[in-house]
Structure 1
């Protein structure tokens, strides 16, 4: 395990205009409505080479990038092999892929915000070697729903750059995404309004990145009972990376990882102002593996996340703020490792059922209710046995996420 330290920043948060009025509801079970407010695909950020210059456990895959010369892999320093990008492998030159991905070294942007894939989405399995999205395909730019649907559902790989705001019609439309796709917002202003994405059974190798997704909330339907308007829904998909996105005011679920969806990483995203944030499960099997790190959950009620029957769930460096019902729930037979997160004004920060929950290094501020743990050692699994990851000190998480979570202006350019 490697540790990348970031400078402390002054926390300056503006009060949110929406206050939760839902009270405290009981955790809802898997099997209802589904989805997630996904993000856009990645372009040019790499899974080879972390910010410190070390090569990552994911090995050589590079997210995004054009297959032509110039879409070189980003990774590491000159002493590391880096990753093979759209063009020839780069010996640490990093740089943006063909559609302009990351910062100067392919691992962080100009403000030092990490852009590198970590977690189970970087691990090989089910016939897929990590997650690189549409790296091997053509790069296209879309400004309309018709073009987004066309390229997202195509059988060929694509890096799809979403420019500006696309408003879905009919309201609540979830665009079907096929395998081998990167969907990335151009800069920090790309938006999917009044709709979301759907990844069906067997869909794999998808990156959703740098998008704002929302505005499907139905007034008067706080519980999401009258419709099934989700942000991103995944039903038995695998190798999916959702990164640097913002989800808000969704009709039903912001993110739903359902029916044995596995090899999933959700990172550096903001989920806010809603009832159901992030539901995981809808299955009796205990096979899924996923990583949820550096996300800001704020002004929410339930599913933060509710993690049902996940073989290995690794949560670290998340910030849960003003959560009214419950925080991290290791439901059913889930085995969870929960590290260096911040729980600020949270009811029932974390608890578990029949599996395990290792909680270590977390900060609790103005919390009430359960803080359950099966111990402080890796009783079921050690995440570092599967991949390298950057674990930040818990006392730096709030400043770091204030600065770096959500869409980034340099992605997708």
Structure 2
């Protein structure tokens, strides 16, 4: 029954008062920022995933605030968008009671609810040693958040050690532009980064980073838990992981355009009848990246367009069936939704520019070019849920004006055999400079002061991902103009200088720079 206007006003005022008391800001329509973007992959099926679209927008800075926002809704299915800014931890996450929620202290509990969006805004949202638990819920969106160091043993513990965990009849979840990370494996107290079990279906994980963990994630808690599936993984970075990227027990998964780096024991582990479509991914410096491992209950895969770069394979055995060294399809998987595939060769660069929290919710256009999506609803107030980056962010936009490196000079700290400093300003991607060793400097210099505000670092074709961390330095003053990782475009305040240095401070081997372009704007 619809409440009378006067009663609805009283409820709204009461909600606002309660929110103010515990740090929940109920945003007026003209101030609420739209949670831009639309779900992809299997999250678009089964009626789709829209989260809290159309509902009230609130802004919070504590875990208790998140719980309060859920618990003060008229019902457990009333749509709501919860914007989160700041660090959420055990000290500010308490249980809140109400008819529209079922929460618990020490974990963000999304239990027996629906139609919710949680999105990081402002200076970012960090869930520190505190997991997100989704149980008996549907139509949930989580975007632009970092969840780190969630433990199942030691202190403090949260969510069984999972960064994000789903179980018990969960339907339609989209996790996007998240950074999920641990600081070790099970022996250090951590479990999975992204787990699904006990009848969880129609899930998409996109443009996210999963790193520094023993376990990436699983679908199915045991060989008998085969009621899960219809999961899409695309444009994610899995880095420095022991295994489970993911582990599939039954069900169907679509895995495309992901970048896998330093998988130490195994990668995509399809077993217990699972079927996975694995296409246009880039696997690098890893072991046993696809197959059935640690069980005799076989799983299956359809493969196409993947790149295996320095991947090693173990020998087959009774409990191990690696797909390599020459992976071949042993099933077919029909995908019910439309999607665009980036070429596997550009996946490292695209993922580097788009994946993780605080990257501007950037996505690929399906042609190896990242782009920032426009907000779905214009508003005169802050419409983007993403903070301005605190450090320069690579951008695919073509710089304006001439490349100032053409006709300039160049030098560096060292050059590997067969390479030249001049190769970085000859306009060709087929020639390059490489230092002696894994680090080094390359510089562009002019005879008189030159104003520069944008640099583009390009790697030779087929070697994307060779550059690790870097600094861009005004050689004359020693000032660091920008810092980051990987190749791409870099912007910074316009600076007048006679020499600019690109200093590579770490790499995965022998870094290569094909072009060091400089622009006035």
| Residue in structure 2 matched with residue 230 of structure 1 by the alignment | 162
Structure 1 residue 289: Cα displacement: 0.9
Structure 1 residue 305: Cα displacement: 0.7
Q: Identify the match of residue 254 of structure 2 among 314, 327, 345.
A: 314
Number of residue pairs aligned between Structure 1 and Structure 2: 299
Matched, 1:294 2:235: yes
| Residue in structure 1 matched with residue 385 of structure 2 by the alignment | 412
Q: Is the 8 A contact 2:234 2:258 kept in 1?
A: yes
| Residue in structure 2 matched with residue 246 of structure 1 by the alignment | 179
Q: Identify the match of residue 45 of structure 2 among 94, 113, 123.
A: 123
| Residue in structure 1 matched with residue 149 of structure 2 by the alignment | 215
Q: Identify the match of residue 269 of structure 1 among 191, 208, 224.
A: 208
CA distance in 1, matches of 2:192, 2:123: 23
Q: How does 1:7-18 map to 2 (within 5 A)?
A: none
Structure 1 residue 278: Cα displacement: 1.1
Q: Is the 8 A contact 2:254 2:276 kept in 1?
A: yes
CA distance in 1, matches of 2:230, 2:283: 23
Change in CA separation of 1:286 and 1:192 when aligned onto 2, cut-off 3 Å: closer
Q: Structure 1: any 5+ residue segments left out of the alignment?
A: 1-65, 71-96, 103-114
CA distance in 2, matches of 1:68, 1:226: 34
Q: Is the 8 A contact 2:264 2:287 kept in 1?
A: yes
Structure 1 residue 220: Cα displacement: 8.5
Q: How does 1:191-206 map to 2 (within 5 A)?
A: 191-201=126-136, 203-206=137-140
| Residue in structure 1 matched with residue 12 of structure 2 by the alignment | none
Deviates more, 1:274-283 or 1:170-179: 170-179
Structure 1 residue 219: Cα displacement: 9.3
Write 1 or 2 for the structure with the bigger share of strand: 2
3-state SS, counterpart of residue 163 of structure 1:
strand
Matched, 1:149 2:67: yes
Change in CA separation of 1:194 and 1:388 when aligned onto 2, cut-off 3 Å: same
Q: Identify the match of residue 107 of structure 2 among 157, 167, 174.
A: 174
CA distance in 1, matches of 2:55, 2:346: 38
Structure 1 residue 130: Cα displacement: 0.3
Structure 1 residue 188: Cα displacement: 6.0
TM, length-normalised to structure 1: 0.66
Q: Is the 8 A contact 1:188 1:211 kept in 2?
A: no
After the TM superposition, list the runs of 4 or more consecutive aligned residues in structure 1 that deviate by more than 6 angstroms: 66-70, 218-221, 224-227
Matched, 1:346 2:319: no
CA distance in 2, matches of 1:170, 1:278: 27
3-state SS, counterpart of residue 148 of structure 1:
helix
Based on CA coordinates, which of the two structures has the bigger radius of gyration?
2
Change in CA separation of 1:175 and 1:149 when aligned onto 2, cut-off 3 Å: same
**Which structure exhibits the higher relative contact order, with contacts defined as CA atoms closer than 8 Å and separated by 6 or more residues?**
1
Matched, 1:365 2:306: no
Change in CA separation of 1:358 and 1:187 when aligned onto 2, cut-off 3 Å: farther
CA RMSD of aligned residues (A): 3.0
CA distance in 2, matches of 1:388, 1:69: 33
CA distance in 1, matches of 2:122, 2:308: 34
Structure 1 residue 381: Cα displacement: 2.2
Q: How does 1:13-24 map to 2 (within 5 A)?
A: none
CA distance in 2, matches of 1:245, 1:382: 27
CA distance in 1, matches of 2:27, 2:66: 20
| Residue in structure 1 matched with residue 266 of structure 2 by the alignment | 326
Q: Is the 8 A contact 1:286 1:333 kept in 2?
A: no
Q: Is the 8 A contact 2:130 2:159 kept in 1?
A: no
Structure 1 residue 354: Cα displacement: 2.8
| Residue in structure 1 matched with residue 447 of structure 2 by the alignment | none
Q: Structure 2: any 5+ residue segments left out of the alignment?
A: 1-25, 94-104, 184-189, 314-321, 362-383, 387-521
Structure 1 residue 168: Cα displacement: 2.6
CA distance in 1, matches of 2:85, 2:29: 24
TM, length-normalised to structure 2: 0.53
Deviation string 1:220-268 (CA, Å, 9 cap, x unpaired) is 89xx999922211100311000000001116322111111200000000
3-state SS, counterpart of residue 199 of structure 1:
strand
| Residue in structure 2 matched with residue 134 of structure 1 by the alignment | 52
